[in-house]
């Protein structure tokens, strides 16, 4: 099992970032890494509520489903959730903690993911998250006039 930590500062509000982590349509847009299509099958964004989603490799059609429970939700500040893969070759429970803090030029975002299965190299996990966070920035930093 391994742990990864990511850190970004995004030109947006903590509230908008928080919403991007808990809105099913937003998650399907930004969370899948490059080359994957995401689908949210269920999302109940409350402490004790759960979610289930899948990533499908666009090139091969292979799908990996996963889901978990929201352990802690503090609007605009912190999200903590666990998740498990359906695939028995990826055992164990991961816990992800997302911390948001308002800073002078936007919002500081920290993501810590613990308990990553040994079958997933940490560097591949970093790469996937980096791609996802780039897409997240494009979603939350955009200022589109009404």
CATH architecture of 2-141: 2-Layer Sandwich (3.30)
Single pTM value for the model: 0.93
Per residue in 42-53, pLDDT (tens digit) is: 999 999 999 999
Per residue in 103-115, pLDDT (tens digit) is: 999 999 999 999 9
**pLDDT attached to residue 144:** 84
Can you give the residue ranges of every domain in the chain? 2-141
Query: Is residue 15 within a helix (H) or strand (E), and if so which, with residue range?
Result: helix 14-22
Q: Would residue 115 be called left, alpha or beta, if left means φ above 0 and alpha means ψ between -120 and 50 degrees? A: left
Q: What's the pLDDT band for 81 if we cut at 50, 70, 90?
A: very high
């Amino acid at each position: 099992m391994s742990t990864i930590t990511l850190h970004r500062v995004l030109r947006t509000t903590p509230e908008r970032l928080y919403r991007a982590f808990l809105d099913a349509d937003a998650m399907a847009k930004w969370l899948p890494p490059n080359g994957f299509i995401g689908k949210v099958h269920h999302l109940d964004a409350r402490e004790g509520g759960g979610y289930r989603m899948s990533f499908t490799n666009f090139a091969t059609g292979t799908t990996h489903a996963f889901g978990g429970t929201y352990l802690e939700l503090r609007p605009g500040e912190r999200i903590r959730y666990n998740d498990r893969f359906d695939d028995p070759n990826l055992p164990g429970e991961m816990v992800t903690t997302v911390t948001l803090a308002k800073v002078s030029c936007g919002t500081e975002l920290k993501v810590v993911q613990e308990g990553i299965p040994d079958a997933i190299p940490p560097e591949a996990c970093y790469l996937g998250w980096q791609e996802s966070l780039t897409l997240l920035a494009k979603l939350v930093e955009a200022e589109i006039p009404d």
